[in-house]
Amino acid sequence: MADLSRLRNISEKDRKMLAEAEVMLGPEPSEMGFVKNLFWGRLRNELVFPYPEQDKRERARCDKLLDRLDAYLRDEHPAVQIDREEEIPAWVIRRLFEQGVLGMTIPEEYGGLGMSVTSYNRVLERIGRTCASTAVVVSAHQSIGCKAVMLFGTDEQKRRWLPGMATKELSAFCLSEPNVGCDAGGQETRCELSDDATHYILNGEKKWSTSAALSGLFTVMAKQRLTDPSTGKTSDRVTALVCTPDMEGIDIYEKNRSKCGIRGTWQARIRLTNVKVPRENLLHKEGKGLTVALSCLNYGRCTLSAGMLGSAKRCKDQGIKWSQTRYQFGRPLAAFDLVQERVARMAAYTYAMDAMLYLTTAMLDRHDKDIMVETALCKVFNSEMGWRVVNDAMQIMGGEGYMTENEVERAMRDARINLVVEGANEVMHTFVFGYGGKQLAEQMVGIKEALLPDASQTVSANLWRMLRNAMRPSVVKTAAGLGAELYLGRRPPKPTAPTVHVSLQPYANRLSDLVHDHSHQFKQVSRRFMEKILNNQMMQRRLSENAMWLHAMACTISRLDSQIKAGDSGPAFERDRAAAIYFLEMAQIEIRENIGRLTRNADDPMRAAAKAALEHNDTLPTGDFVVPERSPNAKGRGRKPATRGVRQFPGDGVEEPSVQDRVTRG
């Protein structure tokens, strides 16, 4: 395959970005996952059909835990207090440890419950129905905080740290920085091995570290200058280190910041100054920190989705009940078409969210080789559809939904962050397009390099290269098929549709048709834009969204097929069946509209409008606005955010003002 970083006619910045992406993502798995195959026009039905069932013994264990958790959440959990007072009481954390919730995925030999990813997400979904703040804290601890030790720790490291993490101590994941958000490879925190090779010296700053001010262990990502022994070349690579708060030089100078939603969670700012980290605290290998981080994020993206699913289901049920009991113009709101549309949409989205989440957790539980795109899409889909569900419930409830005592108001504030964290959805769409279609794009570039003229070469060099490659049967066969499709309209055969219940077979056949078209459109867009596609995020998003809708369709068909074949019946099943069918119809419309926008869109007027708005904004004084604290072009020139009446969370050694002082002095 071709190396995309060697593409011609691209800027050095783009070339560097591609090279860094190659390093960050590492080598391709030997077997492409379900979503990557969609870009090739293939359906790996065995990965999705039949819908995976949880082991009966494991499910029974989880059911018992959920029964205990239900009683606690119903009778004790102070969700309103947590939101109002902006912190989770210590007794709540103790109760969750006592129930095993905060150690449920840690192996039993280290004091945890040793439960599956699917069970873990079932618990997160249940917590998400009641309190998003608590769901985030539970998720941050086990999905990313101590998950790195579980996945990459040595036996000695696991024995040293996991028992505490399973029974009494929270953990934190330190990746983000003032200048590092979605750009995980852009770490400015640095570490270097000491002269005597006994410890690492760590310097930098971390931001948005959930529960760090309350934790007994941090997984810290830092850049390290390393030499490749095979080439002798040196480069900066990310290394993962385990730190503890008692290490000299660690200063949690801000425990938290007041925020819109998930108000009970605390995100710390940490200053690291010449911190001596013992060499035995290295996780995995030097320079392999991004492997650690990205592996952990696969789990965090699922648990974020589970919490959002729980909240969306609760808001759906509340909104539907309101539509049946609120009367206007002599009729219940549920009698009106436009309200019915919202009711149906909420049911459809939550069904598909559920289907995608638990199919993804099953992939993690069975250790599928290639699931990074699937977990990214699970996060994007559940955060976006969950936000839509909460918004629909809010609209149905009208003014009452906006009132603080009605839980939908809190759910709306809590849900919004999910479109940002664990990879902003815009970045995730670019990732899905780039990584999902990477291998197919490499093949297309390879054919171009082999058989088409290169303006940078002489005529004789071009002829010799093209003739030499034309003698290679594999190159000619691939090029002939690709050329026939792109220029003569002769597409390859459609993928084999999954075999499902007769009532669902038309939808399975349609899925095959749409996958066939998706691959063709990806190839056509790649041919039309060539290297320029790297900067055309509008096209990237449309193709990524189509991969998302196709994946959601497959998950939905598979889940409904399993319910039908299991003989499910009754009102709940009829709701599920109708919701699933409605979702499948909506998804097809979304896909067709996106395909249409690949050639008929308002992208150029959009860019012109954005350019004019940006140029006008340049005329406004920067001092009137808040700007990023480390902005390369406006640092120190922006307006300081107003903090009067906003609770502050200073670090240790700084007295926190009383509630009255916060209100009167700011």
Supply the residues annotated as catalytic: 422
Rounded to whole angstroms, the Cα distance separating 664 from 666 reads: 6
Which H/E stretch holds residue 424?
none
Quick one: CA dihedral 151, 154, 155, 161, positive or negative? negative
Q: Is 617 exposed, middle or buried (0-12, 13-18, 19+ CB in 10 A)?
A: exposed
Quickly list DSSP for 67-105. Answer: HHHHHHHHHT--HHHHHHHTS--HHHHHHHHHHTGGGTT
Q: Where are the beta strands (DSSP E) in 160-198?
A: 170-174, 190-193
Its sign, for the CA torsion 657, 659, 663, 664, is: negative
Collapsing DSSP to helix, strand or coil, 443 comes out as helix
Sort strands 648-650 and 331-332 into parallel, antiparallel or unpaired: unpaired
Q: Collapse the DSSP code of 76 into the 3-class scheme (helix H, G, I; strand E, B; otherwise coil) and give the result.
A: coil
Reading the block at residue 113, the tokens are: 């419950």
Beta bridge partners of 177: 180
Burial annotation 69-92 (CB, 10 A radius, 16+ → b, else e) = beebbeeebbbeebbeebbbeeeb
- Specify whether the CB–CB gap between 647 and 83 falls below 8 A: no
Structure tokens at 255: 């425990």
For the chain, the distance separating the N- and C-terminal CA atoms, rounded to the nearest angstrom, is: 60
Q: Identify the three-state secondary structure at position 360.
A: helix
Distance CA 477, CA 488 (A): 15
Bond from prior residue into 50 cis (ω within 30 degrees of 0): yes
SS3 190: strand
Q: How many residues does the chain have?
A: 666
Q: Distance between CA 192 and CA 197 in Å, rounded?
A: 9
Q: How far apart are CA 494 and CA 517, in angstroms?
A: 9
